[in-house]
């Protein structure tokens, strides 16, 4: 396990699920962590967990659709810890289930605003800060298997996650010589509150159907995604940029 001692990480959507687990993992590896979320209670719980384990963390309430809020998020990291080494842009929503022709335009736009525009807002300030540092940094964006393939009744989510991979690759090309690496993870269906809220883990029939989409015939865990994010940030991945790393139990191999 690579050590992140003296490093500083920002995690959006850090109040639950994959974000919370990744924030804790960064801290366990020695990083100071800025936990960002619109969920104040969840974000505070993550910070408390990190501090109880002996780590260092701060919470900042952040709506990623507000570009000024994402600038303030980066400022908190720099003002508190002096730098920003790693950023995991994880905040996202699923949106309603509806066919393209039936989808409410405002609800569709909200999904794109959070999942795609929100990541752009974060990256803009994260990359600027990392470029200003002698040691650069690493950005990891949370896309999805649905950034590669379609999925019925999920057009807003699918479109946003496809767009996120294009954004990741473009930023990687732009920063090939700046010392800033930019990658994405593409989780399969992961055991998170987002799936629970959609009824995909609480309904036995729905769960079985989703599990069978993965050749490993199970859902993934937040820890498995967190480990992949931390590997992409580690020096072991120093020649990896512009990558969309599947953490999907073989879903995309079909």
Give the distance from CA 222 to its chain's centroid.
11
Considering only CA atoms, which of 158, 73, 77, 86 is closest in space to residue 121? 73
Q: What is the pLDDT of residue 43?
A: 98
Is 79 in contact with 57 (CB distance < 8 Å)?
Answer: no
CATH for 8-192+221-241, options being 2.40.340.10, 3.30.300.30, 3.40.50.720, 3.50.50.60: 3.40.50.720
Q: What is the pLDDT of residue 238?
A: 97
Instruction: Quote the Cα angle for 39-43-49, to 5°.
Output: 150
Using the 8-state DSSP alphabet, how is residue 72 labeled? H
Length of the chain: 254
Runs of H (alpha helix) within the chain? 17-28, 40-52, 67-81, 105-112, 118-131, 155-174, 193-197, 204-211, 222-233
Which residue positions in the chain have pLDDT lower than 70? 1
The active-site residue out of 81, 86, 157, 251 is 157
Q: What is the pLDDT of residue 80?
A: 98
Write the CA distances from 182 to 46, 77, 195, integer angstroms: 25, 19, 27
Write the CA distances from 223 to 5, 19, 22, 120, 133, integer angstroms: 20, 10, 7, 25, 30
Q: Provide the angle, in degrees to the nearest 10, between the axes of the packed helices 155-174 and 105-112.
A: 30
Tens of pLDDT, residues 80-106: 999 999 999 999 999 998 999 999 999
Is 236 in contact with 34 (CB distance < 8 Å)?
Answer: no
Q: What is the pLDDT of residue 203?
A: 83
251: annotated active-site residue: no
- What pTM value is reported for the model? 0.96
Q: What is the pLDDT of residue 1?
A: 58
How many angstroms separate the CA atoms of 226 and 224, rounded? Answer: 5
How many angstroms separate the CA atoms of 57 and 13, rounded? Answer: 14
Q: What is the pLDDT of residue 204?
A: 86
User: Rounded to the nearest 5°, which phi and psi values hold at 9?
Assistant: -125, 145
């Amino acid at each position: 396990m690579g050590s992140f001692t003296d490093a500083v990480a920002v995690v959006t959507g850090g109040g639950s699920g994959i974000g919370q687990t990744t924030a804790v993992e960064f801290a366990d590896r020695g990083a100071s962590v800025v936990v960002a979320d619109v969920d104040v209670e969840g974000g505070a719980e993550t910070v408390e967990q990190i501090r109880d384990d002996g780590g260092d963390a701060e919470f900042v309430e952040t709506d990623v659709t507000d570009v000024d809020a994402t600038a303030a998020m980066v400022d908190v990291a720099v003002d508190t810890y002096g730098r920003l080494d790693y950023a995991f842009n994880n905040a996202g929503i699923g949106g309603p289930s509806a066919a393209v022709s039936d989808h409410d335009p405002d609800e569709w736009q909200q999904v794109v605003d959070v999942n795609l525009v929100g990541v752009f807002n974060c990256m803009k300030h994260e990359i600027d800060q990392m470029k200003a540092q002698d040691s650069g940094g690493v950005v990891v964006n949370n896309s999805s298997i649905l950034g590669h393939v379609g999925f019925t009744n999920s057009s807003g989510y699918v479109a946003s996650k496809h767009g996120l991979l294009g954004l990741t690759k473009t930023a990687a090309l732009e920063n090939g010589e700046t010392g800033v690496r930019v990658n994405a993870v593409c989780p399969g269906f992961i055991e998170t509150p987002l799936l629970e809220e959609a009824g995909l883990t609480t309904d036995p029939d729905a769960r079985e159907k989703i599990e069978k989409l993965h050749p490993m015939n199970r859902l993934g865990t937040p820890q498995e995604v967190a480990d992949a994010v931390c590997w992409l940030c580690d020096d072991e991945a120093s020649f990896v940029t512009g990558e969309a790393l599947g953490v999907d139990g073989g879903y995309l191999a079909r």
